[in-house]
Amino acid sequence: MQMKTADAIVKAIMIADQPESFVTRRLEEIELEFGGMRGDRHFGITAKSDVRQPMYKKGTEILNRRQLTMVSEEQLAIIAEELGVEKVLPEWLGANMLLSGFEELTTLPIGSRILFPDGTGLICMGENKPCIHPGQMIQVNYPSLPKLDTRFVKAGYKRRGIVCAVERPGMIRVNEEVRILINDVDNPMQ
């Protein structure tokens, strides 16, 4: 059976390197390491468990499945339209990467791979569930519109992007084309 693939373009690379904020800033390129983007708030091979892992006592050291977050240009446009705003920037969501050309990003199955031209590889670890914090950043940018912070949670459902881990380190750059290998849950990649 043939594996499904898709292509997309890296429109932006961003890092959350300000300790007081999850908001990201844009870079032209960065070297990914096992652990993600050195200096990013989510960098590390391991992380402390939080509300996302209720099976562990809070603060337990576990594998870091959310080293990087990725969103799609197309899904951000849908969120903006649903919220009635001009745009939703990936920086406001704390995203590390913005892709264009693959609008099904958030529903990408766990275990799918995103491969870069030099062989750098990411593994999809699942959907990045929407929460109120990015909604609060959207609200800050559109203060005259009510309840954007809470409305974002619904608008971002199945559109908020994915979390990834670095499977093969290397350099990534804006405007690179990536190949997406879509995992088949009935015959999964190993």
Kindly report the CATH number assigned to the domain that includes residue 156.
Answer: 2.40.33.20
Number of structural domains found in the chain: 1
pLDDT digits (tens, 9 = 90+) for 67-109: 999 999 999 999 999 999 999 999 999 999 999 999 999 999 9
User: Domain limits at 91?
Assistant: 4-182
DSSP 28: S
Query: Could you tell me if residue 189 is inside a domain?
Result: no
Query: Could you tell me if residue 152 is inside a domain?
Result: yes
Query: Could you tell me if residue 129 is inside a domain?
Result: yes
Query: Could you tell me if residue 30 is inside a domain?
Result: yes
Query: Could you tell me if residue 187 is inside a domain?
Result: no
pLDDT over 70 percentage in the chain: 99
Half-sphere exposure of 48 (CA within 13 A, CB side): 4
User: Tokens 């446009």, residue?
Assistant: 77
0.85 exceeded by pTM: yes
- Tokens, residue 55: 């099976």
First to last CA, the chain: 16
Local confidence band at 1 (pLDDT 50, 70, 90 cut-offs): low
SS3 state of residue 30:
strand
Query: Could you tell me if residue 16 is inside a domain?
Result: yes
Query: Could you tell me if residue 15 is inside a domain?
Result: yes
Query: Could you tell me if residue 165 is inside a domain?
Result: yes
pLDDT digits (tens, 9 = 90+) for 11-35: 999 999 998 899 999 999 999 999 9
Query: Is 151:157 a contact under the CB 8 Å cutoff?
Result: no
